[in-house]
Structure 1
Amino acid sequence: MSLVELASLLLRTEETFSAYLARINSVILTPLLQSGSFENLDLFLRLNEHFHLLWDLTEESCRTLKQSFGSPECISVQDFYLIWKADLFLDRYIQYFSTFASFAVVQGFEHAARIKSEVWKSHKPALQQFLADFSLDASVAVALHMVLHKPFRDQLQQYTLILSKLQGSPGQCPENETISYASNKFAKLESFVRQVLDEAGLTRGLWKSLGHKFTDVLRIPERRLLEDSQNLAVLSSTGRSDRVLLFNDILVLIQGSSFQSFDLRLVWVEAAGRDAGKCAVRIITPEEEFFLLAKDAKAQAVWQWKVNQAVRQALNGKRDFPLWCGDGEGSDPLSCRHFSFTFRAEGKLKNAAYEGEWCLGKPHGKGTLMWPNGRNYVGDFKEGLEHGFGICLIPCASGDCYDCYKCHWQEGKMSGYGICEYGNEMVYKGYFKDNLRHGFGILENPSSAKGPFKYTGHWENGKRSGYGIWDDHERSERYIGMWHEDQRHGPGIVVTQSGGCYQRMFHMDKMVGSGILLLEDNSVYEGNFTPDLTFIGKGKLTFPNGFTLEGSFANTSSQGLQTQGILNTAGEQQDEQMCKLQLGQKEFPVEMRWEGLFSQFQEFIHSGCHRDTEEAFMGFHVQTSKELRKSQEYLFCQRENEEVPVKVDILEELTAHQDQGTLQNYLEQAFQNSLHPLGKLLKMLSLAFQATYSTTGASRHLLTMAQEEVKHYAEKIWEFYLGLRRLALERKGGPCPEDPENSELNGPNAILPLILPCFYPDLFMLYMLYHEKEDDLYCQGVVELSQESDVKLLEFLDVRKHFWPLKDLTLTKHQRRSLVKDRCFLSATDCLRNLITTVDPREKLDILQKTYDEIAKTISRLLGEEFNPSMDDLLPLLMYVVTRARIQRLGAELHLIRDLMDPTSSGGMHDFLLTALESCYALIQKEIQYHQSWHASQNS
């Protein structure tokens, strides 16, 4: 047939079909809608809507074809609305027949036939005539069913016939592919309609055969029966009397008068193992696992395939086209899914609602778990258990607050680093193991009813054990020492805010044996004493003036402290060793103090520095309670237009910084970056250091402990850096780095100046307290010497006159050179004052070098030739500059430089200049001591 003849045939077909639709609308649909409310009216309204959409589409097809016949010689495939709008035709017919099938499943036509309204009765004659035209001799219900689907199926057959003739017409045209596509789709549509109606018939028959107890609960319009164990035998492993029903959305097991249903979106199907029998299908659901036992391999294969395809279609939210043989045929559903489910079975998750990712019937991936009592968890899961990072809120017993846990989890338990904010305002930041505090951690309660406290140290199985620091704010004292089972146990040091300090052995929180008590007036007591620091038993008391009292001490409420012993007044002033006695080095070896903190970073390196485990080992940003809760609320929300921070691969970065020049810059940036492992480690160490030595812990008797601790930090950080670098080079396939001993880089000495600013304020305070007496004496000397004019001071210090830069002085007419002060060696004086502006010992030594250079430059200008002063010449000149610089805590500065300077500077120019400055410091003290002795002798 020619294209014109086929177009004419299609037009006649469309016109005839449109006329049928008009009659159906006037005789059946309109009267039913006018009859008023009836059962399943909403579904009937949807059917009526899809009917009119089809009718409109048919009318549009007619209009397009009629327009084309205005010029028959110009008719083309483009005039066939059926072809170039094939997908729209398919959608309209699929929607119509799907809704029609749903209406049939719920026996909508039977209910419609029984309508008793006058409107419906008045249209009965017209309906009977209409049915007679269709040659139908059946009940009204059956007639309605036939009239509302048979003409549509006949029309589809006509479409398929016309398309096949058009496809087989002679000649080739560019639209052949489009025609072939439309023809193929309409052939599938016919198969789809047939299958949809067959499924509807089977489902309708099932609802009639089941009792109302099942039907009332299970029957919904869109639900279709896909397989029945009465048709294809299969039994459930939960009981041999089961009937198994597979629907398009649920799997149902009927046992007597009860049943179980399983949402297919949360059903996993696997081939059964040998122990379950040869012909079994394994079914996995969130709360139950069972087998479908078939009689033979064929039945097993059919059930496994059908359940898998039903699950896949349920997850996709649509049926295949056509059913059972669509594009997804043979493909299994994804093992990992996202869905919501409420647990009902007994156990930890009873009544908990979970929304998130699943795998093989268990929460796996990211999700949210909420209990009715308000408890909830947002985070990572693995095989049904909390695993990875997560935030958990647990309501307190009072019900008006929550305990907030932001932690890492392992197999359902807190494990790794976490921050916990409790409802009573107590906060813990540290490591967990099996839900208990374990490893390094900080517990603080700033507003406890029993008194605010803070503990920084090690934990074991939820209790304080090992080395730790306890701040008792109520008693204003700090305990530094060993713990066991939440009790002070082993050697310990107690520092009071008033300045007292003692070292003692403890056994289960009680002091035992003798100890050392350092009093505020610099007296030292060695012996036994009570918790309120009262002497008792044998002991020795050494006074600041060197007198000693050794004997037996007792305390009675009526007579106070009593003693029997020997008072030795022959001793001289108490020596420096006793006055500045240092505590703790032997009792708490520096390598053992924060072993639990360093071990986490070592484990991170040994684990390969995987980024997904980094926070579990090294912690994360400290947040407030409000931020913790907010981070939980938005943890997994998709937010548009929000930049996600990109994590830098630290190992990749490390390989680009191997020479000394770029290494220092890299380390500086790493220490300042709170996300870098080295930055996190430094932050942890600074918290531990502050907890030990700041405020209450600022005791001069702890200086050596603090000093060796800072040096140890530098060594450990360098060790971790080398471990990271070694791992980075191994990953990249490069050569392994040299050992620290053989490396040109002096690691710990390069690290120390970079980390010192974090510890400097507290460390320098200890230096000031330790050298307080000498600095006070030095300051008195500087004050007295500073009163002298430049001329008198230079003369007093025995500076050679040809070194006096007096010609640099510019005097007014009212000034005399002999009275002018602070005008000589100004550049050197200003330079030396910069000593207090830096914390780096290297920079302090550089400042001292510049001061020397300025002195030499001034003398060279006076002499007119280059001059390098010897020690004999330099010392008086430097004493003049030191006096005019008026640096208050020079002794603390000098000792800090000497203790922390790079050992490679020993014997060099820096060492020479530092020795000269130390000599000036000592000479100024001796000068004031001489003056004080002279005045004392004159007064006597």
Structure 2
Amino acid sequence: MHSGGRNSAFSQRATFFHPQSPAIYLPFFLGTVKMGSPPLRGQVDMSITDVAASLLRTEDSFSACLARINSVVLQPLLQSGSFENAKLLDELNDRFQVIWDLTEESYRTLKQTFGVSESVSIQDLYLAQKADLFLDAYIQYFSTFASCVVTQVFDHAARNKSDFWKSHKPSLQQFLSDFSPGTSIAVALHTVLHKPFWEHLQKYSLVFSQLKEAPGQNLVKEVNEAAEGFAKLHLFICQALDEANLTRNLWKSLGHKFTDVLCVPERRLLEDSRNLALYPSTGRSDRVLLFNDVLVLIQGNTFQSFDLKLTWVDATFKETGKHTLRINTPEGMFFLLAKEPESRAVWQWKLNQAVRQALSGKRDFPLWGEAGRGRDPPVCRFSSFTFREEGRLKGATYEGEWRLSKPHGKGTLTWPDGRNYVGDFQEGMEHGFGICLIPRASEDRYDCYKCHWREGKMSGYGICEYGDEMVYKGYFKDNVRQGFGILENASDAEQPFKYSGHWENDKKHGYGVWDDKERGERYIGMWQEDQRHGPGLVLMQSGVCYQRTFHMDKMVGPGTLLLEDDSIFVGNFTRDLTFVGKGKLTFPNGFTLEGTFSSKSTHGLQTQGILDTSGEQDDTAEKLQLGQEVFPVEKRWEGLYSPFLEFIRSGGQGETEEAFMGFHVQTSKELRKSQEYLFCHRGNEEAPRKVDYLEELIEHQEKDDLQDYLHQALQSSLHPLGKFLKALTLAFQASYSGIGANKHLLSMAQEEVKHYAKKIWEFYQGLLRLALEVKGQPSAGGMEESDLNGPALVLPLILPCFYPELSMLYMLYHQKEDDLYCQGIVDLSLFPDVKLLEFLEVQKYLWPLKDLTLTSNQRRSLVKDRCFLSATECLQKLITTVDPREKLDILQKTYEEIEKTVNRVLEKEYSLPMDDLLPLLMYVVTRASIQHLGAEIHLIRDLMDPTNEGGMYDFLLTALESCYKFIQKEIRLRPSWQVLHNS
């Protein structure tokens, strides 16, 4: 409602307009100018000042008219009670007040201008400078006025205010002076609230016509645009009121069953099939109504309405002998048939323009004018829709992107039961990356699925967080876990566990690793239907392990049990490690006990058999390796390799890349139930680079930079090779970390790492062939047959990922040897340089000590840690790298440092023979004091490039190994060392 805030001068003027005062301004808004007549033409020779003076009088008169309408009509109506659609009068009053404010401002600026100057320019005309504000205000007013016409607000107001009009009969008679005695109150209200505004707009048009022809004005463009705008405004008002009258008549002709649902103030009838023949393909008795927001099909006493924002008009469909339009909607399609091609063309145009305007949220100005000519509605849209028909989406609401009546792009799908999905859609189905929350029955928790989807089902890589705190990371197919995946529950759960392995039809099936964290056990082996089935290894926290065959989770047949004290039992035993039946027990000292074993609670373990004490102690139990024969390395992780092979076969890009490469989503329990969680972003741990990796593959084929390229690719989790390596790392850690750090698995782990290098090289070759094919380039000629050893190239690049677990296995496997070696190093380190050189029988002419002229005691104290210091420091770097090739380089540099020292002492070039090299290297090894040297030597030997065998590297490694064995062997001579040391 309009209230004070106008200037005081106007307030004083407005006091003259009392409801009982003479209608001195009534002729202005109750004149005889007919609606639709062209604007009056003024004299062409009027100056801008003359036009402004005329406009001043016009604005003054119109403002007074508005004041009278406000006091006599609007305010009494708003204050005297409610009636149907009374809110529209409130809205109309708001629009009325905006026009009144603009009129007052226009009058005030003109009055002020004439108060200080006798001449006026166009810049002084508020109407010309703010023409867009005036146009918008009148558009809003007449749009609301048209809504009042549609809903018959004036009729309801007239009936509701009958007593009011009787008490104000004199004032009302003044308003109705130009009407016949039979004129109704509703018609009078309609005229009073319409005619003055229409006529005032005509005067505005006259003003701009005069301004265009006034001499000396230099704002032709602005004036022309304003004049054109007011001309279009007249056309808009005419069209808007025509639509309003047609719509009102339609509501009068339809029954309440239709109007109670369909009749809303803003809705306008745009076309009726009774006026322009068109009928649905279901029958000619049906009626088609096109409104500005919906399309309605009436069939007898029922109707269907279709939101224009989600309506697609397909005119390309052809049916013999018929002029057909196919209409696509979210819940199906139907056909509209026209008798003549002209009718079909008109309906098609009107439908498309109505759809376009509904999508933009506003009508054209003017309606059906130039604004929309030649513009069809977009095929892709954004809107919301609730599905009603039977099917998997019944009751669900979708908000997001659409294409040809189907969800397509990004969107949110919400069901009444609390389920919701946010992500990618294609052709109406969940397809691409998406996050789905599913509430758990009778629990205030959700299962959260962050997966790749294909045709409405989970397919590809996914991360699922279940309401019971379990988490699955792996691959899906048709909504079930399929392929490689890791399932784990919380560490504080009642029965904590972790499974890493193959899945089939949502069950553990194939090769996999199970950690029973409560019992401190790990099972490595085969599964079937969620049961351990086939060969398997069981590892215990205590270090005990055994290899058995399982049938539906039960142990069958004999097995091999390795006890903590390195005893070996081959035969039948229970899960609690009780010997049962026939078996053979081999003790660490080589004795064997073979017979029948039994256990009674009162007597403990009993046996009947033969004890053989003839065997000698050996390291059979320590060195025994498990798993290699029963688990061929190429069969262990088939479920892990298959997605990568499928990735290559399918082209390696697009949605296949998304499904294979996976994603990273930041999660938290606090966000799990909120909508913000559904819109989380992927991958902020490593910003994605839009790089064509296929192009990069082609650019880095040369041998010189291939290794650098592979190094970068394997380090990136965004590159297929890096993703593959990350998955292999997870599988390796699941097997050999923690409980799996068992010396009896060393050979199994070692061959697995070598196999990984082979598979990564094969994967690289497959990607390269794919890249060449996609880019249309010739195949890499003979790369497979070249002298390049691919796996050997890859192995040092991937070894850092597996080194912690692998190194631990080597240390455990060679622990006794290294302990003996370390004790020897401790004893030898007590020797000063001279004594140690003498003990190791290093030729004295090779000693660097003779350069010093010191006493024996001085020499011993000053040079103990300086003799062959550079070689010692070089050898100590052996433990700073994980690459066997780099370790061999360090060994060679150590040899070179020894030679440099000898050459300096001899003051000539001297090539060390083996007899001289070994004692010197023994000295350097002793002073370097490298822990776990045996593990280092064997790791280098097992994983070095086979091409180095028989060469310089092999020779130096053999020499280092000889030094290691010598120190172990000579530990037995400790008494003689002590004597030598004391002397």
- Among candidates 101, 106, 111, match of residue 156 of structure 2: 111
Percent identical pairs in the alignment equals 69
More divergent stretch after superposition (404-413 vs 819-828)? 819-828
Aligned-pair CA distance for 1:55 = 4.8
1:102-158 Cα shifts (integer Å, max 9, x gaps): 122222222333454887545432332343257896222212222332344344455
Residue equivalent to 1:323:
367
- Please list every run of 5 or more consecutive structure 1 residues that lacks an aligned counterpart in the other structure: 936-940
* Corresponding position: 1:132 with 2:177: yes
- Among candidates 564, 571, 578, match of residue 615 of structure 2: 571
Distance 1:922 1:293, change over 3 A: same
User: Partner of 1:498: helix, strand, or coil?
Assistant: coil
Please give the residue correspondences for 1:403-802 in structure 2 after superposition, counting only pairs within 5 Å: 403-447=447-491, 451-574=495-618, 576=619, 579-610=622-653, 612-621=655-664, 623-626=666-669, 629=672, 633=676, 636=679, 646-728=689-771, 731=774, 736-743=779-786, 745-802=788-845
Residue equivalent to 1:210:
254
Please give the residue correspondences for 1:899-910 in structure 2 after superposition, counting only pairs within 5 Å: 899-910=942-953
Aligned-pair CA distance for 1:559 = 4.4
Q: Distance in 2 between matches of 1:647 and 1:800?
A: 64
Residue equivalent to 2:304:
260
Residue equivalent to 1:100:
145
Contact kept, 8 Å, 1:31 with 1:119, in 2: the verdict is no
Residue equivalent to 2:871:
828
Q: Distance in 2 between matches of 1:467 and 1:670?
A: 28
Q: Distance in 1 between matches of 2:697 and 2:401?
A: 36
Q: Distance in 1 between matches of 2:686 and 2:364?
A: 39
Q: Distance in 1 between matches of 2:151 and 2:60?
A: 28
1:677-732 Cα shifts (integer Å, max 9, x gaps): 32222221111111111121122221111111111212222233333344445555
Distance 1:909 1:644, change over 3 A: closer
Residue equivalent to 1:887:
930
1:571-622 Cα shifts (integer Å, max 9, x gaps): 3333x45641222223222222222222222333333332554341022237
User: Partner of 2:714: helix, strand, or coil?
Assistant: helix
More divergent stretch after superposition (61-70 vs 733-742)? 61-70
Residue equivalent to 1:938:
none
Q: Distance in 2 between matches of 1:518 and 1:819?
A: 52
Aligned-pair CA distance for 1:521 = 2.3
Aligned-pair CA distance for 1:487 = 1.5
Contact kept, 8 Å, 2:449 with 2:465, in 1: the verdict is yes
Contact kept, 8 Å, 1:421 with 1:625, in 2: the verdict is no
Contact kept, 8 Å, 1:268 with 1:360, in 2: the verdict is yes
Q: Distance in 2 between matches of 1:367 and 1:207?
A: 37
Aligned-pair CA distance for 1:308 = 2.3
Q: Distance in 2 between matches of 1:122 and 1:719?
A: 98
Would you say how many aligned residue pairs link Structure 1 and Structure 2?
A: 931
Distance 1:877 1:96, change over 3 A: same
Contact kept, 8 Å, 1:536 with 1:552, in 2: the verdict is yes
More divergent stretch after superposition (565-574 vs 199-208)? 565-574
Q: Distance in 2 between matches of 1:336 and 1:494?
A: 57
1:861-920 Cα shifts (integer Å, max 9, x gaps): 222222221111111111122222222311111010111112232232222111111111
Please give the residue correspondences for 1:219-230 in structure 2 after superposition, counting only pairs within 5 Å: 219-230=263-274
Amino acid at match of 1:854: E
Q: Distance in 1 between matches of 2:69 and 2:917?
A: 123
User: Partner of 1:372: helix, strand, or coil?
Assistant: coil
1:242-278 Cα shifts (integer Å, max 9, x gaps): 4433221222334455443332222222238557982
Amino acid at match of 1:50: R
User: Partner of 1:887: helix, strand, or coil?
Assistant: coil
* Corresponding position: 1:4 with 2:46: yes
Please give the residue correspondences for 1:337-352 in structure 2 after superposition, counting only pairs within 5 Å: 337-352=381-396
More divergent stretch after superposition (483-492 vs 250-259)? 250-259
Distance 1:179 1:777, change over 3 A: closer
Contact kept, 8 Å, 1:105 with 1:221, in 2: the verdict is yes
Residue equivalent to 1:866:
909
Q: Distance in 2 between matches of 1:166 and 1:862?
A: 111
Residue equivalent to 1:191:
235
Aligned-pair CA distance for 1:788 = 3.4
* Corresponding position: 1:22 with 2:67: no
Distance 1:774 1:61, change over 3 A: closer
Aligned-pair CA distance for 1:18 = 5.4
RMSD of equivalent CA atoms: 3.7
Amino acid at match of 2:901: T
- Among candidates 190, 193, 204, match of residue 145 of structure 1: 190
* Corresponding position: 1:359 with 2:406: no
Amino acid at match of 2:74: L
Q: TM-score, normalised by structure 2?
A: 0.86
Residue equivalent to 1:928:
971
Contact kept, 8 Å, 2:355 with 2:377, in 1: the verdict is yes
- Among candidates 850, 853, 860, match of residue 896 of structure 2: 853
Q: TM-score, normalised by structure 1?
A: 0.90
1:549-569 Cα shifts (integer Å, max 9, x gaps): 334444445544444444333
Contact kept, 8 Å, 1:789 with 1:821, in 2: the verdict is yes
1:766-786 Cα shifts (integer Å, max 9, x gaps): 111222222223223333333
Distance 1:62 1:28, change over 3 A: closer
Contact kept, 8 Å, 2:434 with 2:453, in 1: the verdict is yes
Distance 1:182 1:32, change over 3 A: closer
Contact kept, 8 Å, 1:502 with 1:515, in 2: the verdict is yes
Residue equivalent to 2:418:
374
User: Partner of 2:589: helix, strand, or coil?
Assistant: coil
1:411-432 Cα shifts (integer Å, max 9, x gaps): 1111111111111111111000
Residue equivalent to 1:896:
939
Residue equivalent to 2:427:
383
Residue equivalent to 1:915:
958
Aligned-pair CA distance for 1:213 = 3.8
Aligned-pair CA distance for 1:33 = 0.5
Distance 1:16 1:159, change over 3 A: closer
Contact kept, 8 Å, 1:27 with 1:127, in 2: the verdict is no
Distance 1:52 1:517, change over 3 A: closer
Amino acid at match of 1:711: K
Amino acid at match of 1:866: E
